[in-house]
Amino acid sequence: MSEFQNIGLVGRTESNSAVISLKRLMIFLEREGYSVVLEAETAKAVSGHGVRVSSKDKLGELCDLVIVVGGDGSLLASARALAKFNVPLLGINRGRLGFLTDITPEQVEEKVGEVLSGKYMAESRFLLDMAVTRNGKPIGKGSALNDVVLHPGEFIRMIEFDLFIDGQFVYRQRSDGLIISTPTGSTAYALSGGGPIMHPKLDAIVVVPLNPHTLSSRPIVVEGSSEFKIIIGEHNIAKPYVTCDGFEQVITELGDVVHIHKKPHRLTLIHPIDHNFYETCRTKLNWQVGN
């Protein structure tokens, strides 16, 4: 008997192709005798299903495995909601790049069937917690699997801030912002900003300046246990935003303090047994494969 009996499904509901894959997956799972639970918003896009429906939070309590049908953004949202329940996630790619959702729609029955029979790889990924305080009082928070980003928000202006790591002053910077990225996020926005690709197994965090005013400012890789403090400069015209995975956001005021550290709950990502990180990089980033 499979260790996964109650399977939660989350889908990118605005995508017709994702809905088609969801229906195909539901037929397969029910035919194989698994109990299917649809996330509430997903259920609205899949009519006439006749299966249990649950909020995304409750999926973590009800399910042994959650399958996300969509792009990396869909999986990121599920990761933020479900990490605290220690329920593993499996991704089926109906997005564009697909670093995290690595099963293609054509492989649904074959690869999901292999996973459910115990043929899979499990990876542990850490997330980041972010909180903003104003005069010592909390005003907003969020979590991220990819990255926490400080940026100008509505205005295209440089912003000034002070960065501290583990209580030690690093620098005062004027730039378009700062990316604090996990290894998972190193192939996302941080890569576009000139940061290094980090293997997912690394216990490290990369700090990537966004278009810094000084050319000597470079990405820094630090321990995963590091704690970050960013103080918003008193002379900014713009009110910088802090976003988590490009989704959850807090608008700051001058003098606000942004705190970032590793989340205590980790995420388990499930991959097919033949998953290879370097092959994924070759495919997604168009690396050369030799003569």
Q: Encode 171-196 in three state secondary structure.
A: EEEEECEEEEECCHHHHCHHHHCCCC
Dihedral sign, Cα of residue 17, residue 121, residue 187, residue 266: positive
- Looking at every residue in the chain, the average pLDDT score rounds to 93
What's the mean pLDDT in 59-71? 94
The neighbouring-strand residues paired with 124 are: 268
pLDDT digits (tens, 9 = 90+) for 239-280: 999 999 998 899 999 999 999 999 999 999 999 999 999 999
162 is catalytic: no
40 known ligand binder: no
Q: Which of 72, 102, 245, 256 is catalytic?
A: 72
User: How does residue 291 score in pLDDT terms, banded at 50, 70 and 90?
Assistant: low
188 known ligand binder: yes
Task: Give the pair of three-digit tokens for residue 168.
Answer: 């030690």
Q: 289 pLDDT exceeds 90? A: no
203 known ligand binder: no
The segment(s) of the chain belonging to CATH 3.40.50.10330 are 6-118
Task: Give domain 127-264's CATH number out of 1.10.540.10, 2.60.200.30, 3.60.15.10, 3.40.640.10.
Answer: 2.60.200.30
| Crossing angle of the two packed helices 16-31 and 108-116, in degrees rounded to 10 | 50
The one-letter code for the residue type at 74 is: S
pLDDT given at position 65: 97
Task: Give domain 6-118's CATH number out of 3.40.190.10, 3.40.50.10330, 3.20.20.70, 3.40.50.300.
Answer: 3.40.50.10330
The segment(s) of the chain belonging to CATH 2.60.200.30 are 127-264
Q: 98 pLDDT exceeds 80? A: no
